[in-house]
């Protein structure tokens, strides 16, 4: 009896202390009715800037590759300690973990241990570079060759690293750099420099946004005013449950090839009827809440500071110090109980920098398979959020401890449907995600997807999405839905990234220009895009919920807006929203946040329920 009285008195005391002193809540502003337009520079100038961004990402990725391999070679020499037998064992393990190392030679005077093979080239460039590298290493000098293409079509370079402690010892390697070509191909699509997806793929059509009016996308620039949908699909939300007989009739009428369902919403694919025929069929014959095309979504990168020892951090990760992450880590490094879901191309779960950060996920492209990444985009996004910090390996993520939930909703081309994205959102919510990152989107509103977003929002999940890479004011979805926190991209000069979309719907901006992160194949790459900006904000939301788990999704978003550093025109603007995120300020605000008048009742209810549960 006495214990219950103590509990009751404690509850009353806490309730008295929870009354907020200020009203920090401000509703999100919605986009205006102005016609969408592009930023002031011309399409030609935009094209030139995007090409420069691609080249910068390629150069940075090549340097990341060289830096990481140099570190691995140094570790090999340290572990072998001049012993040929130890060198052989270490070399075998290193090459097993790093498949891009085609040939590696550990040399010590006249002795050597060689593994792999030197690729064939037309003019024997590889052999000549290896010979030069061995000569340079013998003199105690480092060697880096120019990139060259072998007869197998792959890009290579030769690297020689001397042992700084022992003269005459060193490691020479022939490094395959196809990752640079992969980054080029990925970024040409990601920054919409080429039509993406190409006409004819996925049995899709390019259309004017929120319509089925056909338009042909011939250039990357035209992606900014087009949406894409599966040409024989239709999404239908029936006004009332369908009986088995009615569903059988539908399947017969449309010659259904497949039917997928989430709740009362169905995705029908016909064997021979196109979307323009399917939509009027359902509208005229059946009672529906909405009937729409099945749109396609695409990939869219003053306390003492804590400076991590990750090998590539100081030289390449300009983005984290720029948003005061190092100071913010004094307040929170995250909490593994707060899970951030990544809806993307999957994640390489055994990447050396991610293998301890991944929790249960799902592959919604092929549910019989694991959510492995066959593109690199999802692994890159995940690394920005949670690459292991202070492990001397590769890069550092924003969060030290938050877990990442990989949900594969995009296929090997980097594209996926509204069905897979909606399904991914619901799965993430039902499996405990507190934050969802969506570095994907298109220019069509889909009621089907919006229903899933509302489902997550009503269950207190913070949803973050990239605005898009077409330098257009046209609202991109899911970012422009009012329940979703929309992110634009900045560069290292705190200016709008040339490719970043903008508009009244933007909440904040975050670094998105040449961001170094993890990449599939256990490698590292630099990518640019609002796809890279969005996970910075998702990670911040995870840190906020870690330092103060009682905050609602509305309060978390409000804190990120209010703590942002104003950029551009004074106050909220179309390019940066409320400004660029500031990790330190946001976590300070979260740690002292007492609630607002609007959210006070729910805030108190959650707090009292926690306290009362201790005395049951």
The catalytic site residues sit at: 344, 377, 531
Task: Give the whole-angstrom CA distance, residue 371 versus residue 349.
Answer: 9
Task: Give the whole-angstrom CA distance, residue 419 versus residue 454.
Answer: 15
Residue with tokens 């009751």: 8
Nearest to 143 by CA among 121, 173, 166, 123: 173
Question: What are the C-alpha distances in Å from 383 to residues 74, 286, 396?
Answer: 24, 47, 8
Task: Give the whole-angstrom CA distance, residue 525 versus residue 523.
Answer: 7
Specify the DSSP class assigned to residue 112. E
How many residues can be counted in the chain?
A: 616
Nearest to 562 by CA among 28, 16, 42: 28
Question: Exposed (0-12), middle (13-18) or buried (19+): which is 123, by Cβ within 10 Å?
Answer: exposed
Task: Give the whole-angstrom CA distance, residue 17 versus residue 13.
Answer: 7
Q: How do strand 403-408 and strand 362-363 relate by DSSP bridges?
A: parallel
Strand order in the sheet with 508-511: 362-363, 403-408, 339-344, 433-438, 462-466, 485-490, 508-511
Beta-strand (E) ranges in 475-573?
Answer: 485-490, 508-511, 515-519, 523-527
Please say whether the beta carbons of 367 and 260 come within 8 A: no
DSSP string, 278-329: HHHHHHHHS-EEEEE--BEEEE---PPP-----TTHHHH--HHHHTTHHHHT
């Amino acid at each position: 009896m006495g214990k219950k009285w103590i509990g009751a008195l404690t509850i009353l005391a806490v309730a008295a202390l929870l009354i907020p002193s200020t009203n920090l809540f401000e509703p999100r502003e919605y986009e205006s009715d102005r016609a969408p337009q592009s930023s002031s520079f011309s399409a030609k100038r935009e094209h030139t800037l995007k090409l420069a961004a691609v080249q910068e990402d390629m150069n940075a990725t090549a340097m990341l590759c060289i830096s990481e391999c140099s570190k691995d070679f140094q570790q090999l020499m340290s572990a072998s300690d001049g012993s040929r037998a130890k060198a052989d064992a270490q070399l075998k393990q290193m090459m097993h973990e790093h498949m891009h190392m085609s040939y590696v030679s550990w040399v010590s005077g006249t002795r050597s241990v060689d593994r792999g093979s030197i690729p064939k080239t037309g003019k024997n460039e590889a052999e000549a570079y290896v010979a030069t590298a061995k000569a340079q290493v013998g003199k105690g000098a480092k060697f880096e060759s120019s990139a060259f293409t072998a007869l197998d079509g792959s890009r290579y370079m030769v690297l020689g690293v001397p042992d700084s402690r022992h003269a005459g010892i060193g490691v020479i390697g022939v490094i395959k750099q196809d990752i640079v070509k992969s980054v080029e191909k990925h970024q040409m699509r990601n920054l919409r420099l080429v039509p993406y997806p190409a006409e004819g793929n996925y049995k899709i059509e390019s259309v004017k946004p929120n319509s089925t009016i056909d338009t042909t996308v011939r250039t990357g620039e035209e992606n900014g005013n087009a949406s894409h949908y599966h040409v024989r699909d239709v999404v239908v939300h029936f006004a009332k449950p369908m009986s088995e007989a009615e569903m059988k009739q539908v399947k017969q009428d449309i010659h259904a090839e497949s039917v997928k369902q989430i709740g009362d919403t169905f995705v029908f694919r016909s064997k021979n009827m196109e979307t323009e025929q399917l939509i009027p069929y359902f509208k005229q014959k059946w009672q529906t809440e909405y009937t729409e095309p099945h749109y396609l979504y695409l990939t869219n990168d003053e306390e003492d500071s804590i400076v991590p020892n990750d090998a590539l951090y100081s030289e390449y990760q300009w983005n984290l110090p720029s948003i005061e992450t190092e100071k913010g880590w004094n307040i929170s490094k995250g909490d593994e109980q707060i899970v951030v879901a990544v809806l993307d191309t999957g994640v390489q779960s055994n990447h050396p920098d991610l293998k301890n950060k991944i929790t249960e996920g799902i592959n919604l492209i092929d549910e019989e398979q694991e959510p492995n990444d066959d593109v690199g985009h999802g692994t890159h996004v995940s690394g920005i959020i949670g690459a292991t910090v202070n492990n001397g390996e590769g890069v550092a993520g924003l969060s030290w401890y938050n877990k990442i939930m990989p949900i594969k909703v995009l296929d090997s081309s980097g594209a996926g449907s509204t069905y897979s994205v909606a399904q991914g959102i619901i799965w993430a919510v039902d499996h405990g995600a507190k934050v969802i990152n969506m570095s994907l989107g298109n220019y069509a509103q889909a009621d089907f997807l919006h229903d899933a977003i509302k489902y997550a929002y009503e269950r207190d999940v913070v949803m973050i999405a990239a605005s898009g890479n077409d330098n257009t004011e046209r609202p991109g979805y899911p970012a422009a839905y009012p329940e979703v926190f929309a992110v634009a991209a900045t560069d290292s000069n705190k200016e709008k990234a040339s490719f970043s979309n903008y508009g009244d719907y933007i909440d904040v901006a975050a670094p998105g220009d040449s961001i170094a992160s993890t990449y599939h194949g256990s490698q590292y790459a630099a990518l640019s895009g609002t796809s890279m900006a969005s996970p910075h904000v998702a990670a911040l939301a995870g840190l906020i919920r870690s330092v103060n788990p009682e905050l609602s999704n509305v309060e978390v978003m409000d804190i990120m807006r209010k703590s942002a550093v104003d950029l551009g025109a004074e106050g909220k603007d179309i390019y940066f929203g409320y400004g660029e995120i500031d990790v330190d300020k946001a976590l300070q605000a979260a740690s002292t946040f007492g609630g607002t008048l609007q959210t006070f009742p729910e805030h108190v209810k959650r707090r009292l329920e926690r306290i009362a549960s201790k005395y049951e």
